[in-house]
Each structure stands twice: as structure tokens, then as C-alpha cells.
Amino acid sequence: MNIVNISRQRYTTKYYDKTRKIAAEQLAQLFEVIRNSPSSVNLQPWHFFVVDNDAARARIMPAIMELNHPRVADSSHTLIFCAKTPLDEQHLQTVLAQEEKDGRFGEGEIKEMMDKGRHFFVNKNSTTSQSQLEWESKQLYIVLGQLLFAAAAIGIDSTAIEGFDDGKMDDILELKQQGLKSILVVSLGYRAANDSNASRPKSRLPKEQIFTRI
């Protein structure tokens, strides 16, 4: 696997081939990449909604900006990335219990130290509800990067979508009642033959302008 080639070939897909669907095995791989994504103090402050049928697409479409309708309407799958809000004690204890089940704690006081450390960083980044949400959003963007690269590595195209009305999305999916807040949308699938963005050369600033050795 040449990771540089993958990064060069990946691009933001504008038009999808609606007739092509992601195979269940590949989709399962991408879901595992999402599950395995890193987060600060292993907080995993997220939940993901999967849209894979026309009825679900129609349901969320009012929250999608019109220019992004084709990305959702014709893609194989669309994911809605959500942050848990607020971060409550129940979630922290759920994460702690899962860590213990998975064998992350050995002998001694490691479990207690992990719990205290996690609470410290949650409190540090939760001086206001907005600061907490911003911190959680950063974790979701880490997941986004992992997903986009993983999808490209197995030949799946993608589009990260910020062009949506988060308030409408929250209402449509009744997210507030579930302690969730929509942060971004990602569509996945296979590019259409007429997707002009595929033929455009990638444009990035030269390395001399963005790296400084110190």
C-alpha cells in the first residue's frame, strides 16, 4: 500500500453513481475504522446515523443544502456524525466499564487513574456547554480523517459535507431528546462517470511553504 498515492487519488466526490452500492463487507470495514478512531482520553463522545435507503434520504433531505442534494440522493450511504451533549457521567462510566471488560487495566490503581484523568480533561474542556461541544467536534473530525483515508484505500469515494442545517437535522432525527448534536455529514459510494471533479488535478501548497524544521 502506497499511502502517498492514496492521498493523491482521493478527492471530494461531487456526483455519485446511484446504481452502485458499497458491499456489506467493505462497509463493515469502514465501521470498524470509525470504532477504532482515536479520541482524547479515549472518550469516544460520538454516535453515527446510517442512511442507506430512499425513505431515510428523503427524511433528512430538508436539512441538506440544495447544492449538496446530489451527494446524499445518489451516494450509496450517508453518515451523520453526532456528538454526545452533554457529556454525562453515565457515558464516562460506560467507557470505563468497556475498558475494564477489554482488559485495559492490570493490577493496582490504573483504573482509578484513568477515570480521574478522563474527568480532568472533560472538566477542563467543559467550562461552558459550547466549549464542550467544540472539544467533542474536534474528536469527530479526527474520525472524519480516518474514514476518508480508509475509504479511499479500499476504492470507495467520499464527500465530507458541512453544508447542512444542523438545527433542522437535530429536529428531524430528534437528537436533542437523545442527548446528541449533529456535527457533520459524510456521503460514501462510487463516483459517477460524469463527475468532473475526478479529472481536476489536485492542488496543494508546496511543502516548502507548510513545513518548518526547528
Q: Considering the domain boundaries, does residue 184 fall inside one? A: yes
- pLDDT, position 1: 81
**CATH at residue 160:** 3.40.109.10
Q: Considering the domain boundaries, does residue 55 fall inside one? A: yes
| Strands of the 180-189 sheet, one edge to the other | 46-51, 77-84, 180-189, 157-161
Q: Considering the domain boundaries, does residue 33 fall inside one? A: yes
> Taking the model in full, what pTM does it have?
0.95
Residue-wise pLDDT for 17-63, tens only, equals 999 999 999 999 999 999 999 999 999 999 999 999 999 999 999 99
- pLDDT, position 151: 98
Q: How many domains does the chain have?
A: 1
| Residues whose CB falls within 8 Å of the CB of residue 145, separated by 6 or more in sequence, listed in order | none
- pLDDT, position 184: 98
Q: Considering the domain boundaries, does residue 136 fall inside one? A: yes
- Full domain range(s) for residue 83: 3-87+126-194
Distance from CA of residue 68 to its chain's centroid? Answer: 17
Residue-wise pLDDT for 158-212, tens only, equals 999 999 999 999 999 999 999 999 999 999 999 999 998 999 999 999 999 999 9
Q: Considering the domain boundaries, does residue 206 fall inside one? A: no
Q: Considering the domain boundaries, does residue 71 fall inside one? A: yes
Could you give the angle at which helices 89-101 and 110-124 cross, rounded to 10 degrees? 150
- pLDDT, position 135: 98
Residue-wise pLDDT for 81-140, tens only, equals 999 999 999 999 999 999 999 999 987 789 999 999 999 999 999 999 999 999 999 999
Q: Considering the domain boundaries, does residue 143 fall inside one? A: yes
- pLDDT, position 210: 98
Q: Considering the domain boundaries, does residue 171 fall inside one? A: yes
Q: Are 149 and 6 in contact (CB under 8 A)?
A: yes
- pLDDT, position 44: 98
Residue-wise pLDDT for 171-186, tens only, equals 999 999 999 999 999 9
